Amino acid sequence: MLTVAIFCVLVGLVLLGVPIFAAMGLTAAGCFVLLGDASVLPLMAQRMYVSSTGFTLLAIPFFILAGNLMNFGGITERVFNFARALVGHMRGGLGHVNVVACMIFSGMSGAAVAEAAGLGVVEIKAMTENGYDREFSAALTAAGSTIGPVIPPSIPFVVYGSMTGVSIIKLFIAGFVPGILMGLSMMVAVYFVARKRNYPIDSWPSWNRLWTTFKASVLALMMPVIIVGGILAGIFTPTEAAVVATLYAFLVGGVIYRQFGLKDIPGIVWESVKQSVRVLFIIATAGFFSWLMIHQCIPEKVIVGLTGFSDRPWVIMAIIIFILLVLGCFMEGIAVLVITIPVFMPLIERFQIDPVQFGIVMILCSMIGLLTPPVGMCLYAVSGISGVPIGRLTRELWPYLLGIFAVTLLIAYVPEVGLWLPNLLMPE
């Protein structure tokens, strides 16, 4: 009963418009007071500090800064032009270009909202100018941006790995196949929608155009190779890779492409600081909230409650996915992760579900949350840059949501799909 009451209070505060970090902090503090444990409140700052510091979490602000430097550095447009030369001639033309550009850019930014804001302006403008409905263009941009946190580098994977002790390198590798499957599912949906609406397609590209666009974007395309290759080769850790990504984005965008100068750096850094603070403050307050759950033995109660339904792993997985999807409708993705990981991990260990596989499932569920109202962050980001109302945007999204959900079920119930690549490259 206490577990249900705590989550009802938390969701209620979020629905009332209280910021998620404040809702978690107020819920935890209020519960401690009502339970007669107000003496622990002075430790709130300590718990928040411990939860938001650590070498691994340093990767988050650097990946955010790298993404913003690429947005300012002209990298997004070059990636889009290369993707257009590759797949613009297919049925659905620029729709496929949108998805492929997102798949390429996801190997650089690691954050869905950054991808939606960076590529979104270029993609939506190009699609509407070529005869595509603005609603279709905006919905596809929002859906495509969720590939960003799945294909490495990935900020949610960094958070998950730092909280569970699971190898971040292995999580990064495991993200490739699900990310590609997400992109392919969206391209299938684009094909049928484009065929029904008779959207235009580009002409077949010449070899010269392919070479020209590739040459213009090759430095941008090298970033994921450097990041993932360096990690796999043991040259640097994921955290150090974030610093390398930042330096590379600065050199390519500022020195080679000359899209921004020294006078632009303070603005870019300040925007990155604000985004980083939002993420890390959620992690900090969620640390205090998680302490409340541990203090009240909520993970154990959840295990007892769920195992009372069934002792079959596939049923437990279905229940967990349902809970994650419901929470994703009301909370920001990182918040869902840091709240539920302490609750679900003991359950995962009990049923011997692979933690890497479960990490992929959690991130995929949080990506669906980014596209579902009332707290879908990508919905609001794309609505802001496109001018399409949230309601119309949501109606256009359902084919892509079904695709992501299908990939989530595939990873959840056919573990070999998600674990094949990490087991191949990093055998036990």
Q: What is the pLDDT of residue 115?
A: 61
CB contact set of 354 (below 8 Å; sequence gap of 6+): 415, 419
Residue 30 lies in a domain: no
Range of the domain at 293: 42-425
Residue 16 lies in a domain: no
Low-confidence winner among 41-45, 176-180, 311-315 (lowest mean pLDDT): 41-45
Name which residue leads in pLDDT, 68 or 160.
160
**Angular region, 353: left φ>0, alpha ψ -120 to 50, beta rest:** beta
Pair 65, 268: CB distance under 8 Å: yes
Total structural domains within the chain = 1
Phi, psi of 33 (to 5 degrees): -65, -45
Residue 36 lies in a domain: no
Residue 266: asked if its preceding bond is cis (omega within 30°), the reply is no
Low-confidence winner among 6-15, 281-290, 372-381 (lowest mean pLDDT): 372-381
Please give the Cα distance from 138 to 382 (Å, whole number).
6
Q: What is the pLDDT of residue 274?
A: 84
Amino acid in position 228: V
pLDDT above 90: residue 229:
no
Residue 254 lies in a domain: yes
Please tell me the pTM assigned to this model.
0.81
Residue 298 lies in a domain: yes
| Segment 328-380, tens digit of pLDDT | 777 777 778 888 888 888 888 888 889 999 999 999 998 888 888 766 777 77
Q: Interior CA angle at 316 toward 312 and 320, to 5°?
A: 170
List Cα–Cα distances, 37 to 30, 42, 43, 288, 361, in angstroms: 10, 11, 12, 14, 35
Q: What is the pLDDT of residue 303?
A: 65
Residue 20 lies in a domain: no
CB environment 156-188: b (16+ within 10 A), e (fewer): bbbbbbbbbebbbbbbbbbbbbbbebbbebbbe
| Segment 75-134, tens digit of pLDDT | 777 877 888 788 777 777 788 888 888 787 766 655 666 666 666 667 777 778 777 888
Pair of tokens at residue 240: 């150090």
Q: What is the pLDDT of residue 407?
A: 95
Query: Of 107, 83, 171, 92, which is closest to residue 361 (Cα–Cα)?
Result: 171
Q: Calculate mean pLDDT across residues 62-74.
A: 78
Amino acid in position 322: F
Please give the Cα distance from 272 to 103 (Å, whole number).
22
Please give the Cα distance from 26 to 17 (Å, whole number).
13
Residue 200 lies in a domain: yes
